[in-house]
Amino acid sequence: MRVEPLTCAIGAEISGVNLGDAARDEGLFAEIKALLLQHKVLFLRDQDIDRADHVAFARRFGELEDHPVAGSDPEHPGLVRIYKNPDQPNDRYENAWHTDATWREVPPMGCVLRCVECPPVGGDTLWANMALAYEKLPEEVKVRIEGLRARHSIEASFGAAMPMEKRLALKAQFPDAEHPVVRIHPETGEKILFVNAFTTHFTNYHTPERVRYGQDFSLGASDLLRYLVSQAYIPEYQVRWRWKPNSVAIWDNRSTQHYAVMDYPPCVRKMERAGIIGDKPY
C-alpha cells in the first residue's frame, strides 16, 4: 500500500489496495482506519468493486444507516444512490459546506462514497479539516464559544421545499438536534468546530454575560455563527478531489465538512454512498 498526502492540511490518496480485500482482511482494514484518523479523508482510484463489497467494507467501521429523504438501494440497506441527471433538479444541499446529517441526535461516523459515472470534467468534491479550523481560531473566539451549543435542522434544509404537512411530519420524525459547537473526537481527542449548513442557531447564547438587550441576541449570535460556519471556506483547510469512475472517497464525518461542486449540468453524475452510524457528539 502506498500513501500520498494531497495537501498539508487534509487528505491522502492510497494505492495498491482493493477495498473488497480490505473488507475481509482485518490487518489491512486496521491500516486504512489508522490512515483515516490521520488524514481525515482517503481517496482511491480503480476500485471496480460490487455493491456487496462496498457495503461490506463500510460495515467494518460500524452499522450502516438509511437516509430518510434519499432512501437506500433495496438490495443493500444503507447504500444510498445519489444519481444526478438533466431530468432531475438539483437538490441544493450537496453544494453547501456541510457535515452529513448533523440534524440527527447521532450523526454518521463517516462515509464511503464510490463514483459509478461522472462527467468528463466538473463535479469535484472538496473536504475541509474542521479540527484545524478550530485550532486556528483566535484565542478570544475560542473563549467565546467554549460551552456553546447549537441546533441542527432537517426541517430547515431538506424539509424547506416540501409542502407544510410533509415538512412538519419530517420534523416530527427527526426533531432538531442540539450539539456542542466544539465537539471532541472520540478516538483522537481533537477539538473540532462543529457547525455547518444544517446549523440554525445557538441555544444557550442568550445569557446575562453575553446580552445587554434583546437585540444583542439576534445580532451577536447570528454574526458569530456566520463567522464560525465560514471557517470551512478557507482554502488552506481544504482538499479537492476530481472524480473518475470507480474512484472512492472515505471520510471521517466527525472532523470534516464537504462540498459537492454542482458545475456539471446537463451531464450525468452517479454516486453511491454508505453512511456509517456514529456516536452522540460531546
Show which residues are catalytic. Answer: 98, 100, 258, 273
Q: How far, in Å, CA of 154 to CA of 174, rounded?
A: 7
Taking the alpha carbons at both ends of the chain, their separation in whole angstroms is 34
Beta bridge partners of 252: 110
Measuring CA to CA, how many Å separate 83 from each of 89, 101, 184, 234, 267? 11, 19, 34, 29, 11
Are the C-beta atoms of residues 67 and 140 closer than 8 Å to each other?
no
Closest to 50 measured CA to CA, from 84, 33, 73 = 73
Task: Read off the DSSP letter of residue 171.
Answer: H
- Alpha carbon 89 to its chain's center: 22
Are the C-beta atoms of residues 125 and 259 closer than 8 Å to each other?
yes
The dihedral of CA 215, 99, 277, 162: what is its sign? Answer: positive
Task: Read off the DSSP letter of residue 180.
Answer: E
Residue the block writes with cell 470534516: 256
Question: Do β-strands 149-152 and 199-202 pair in parallel, antiparallel, or remain unpaired?
Answer: antiparallel
Residue the block writes with cell 446549523: 199
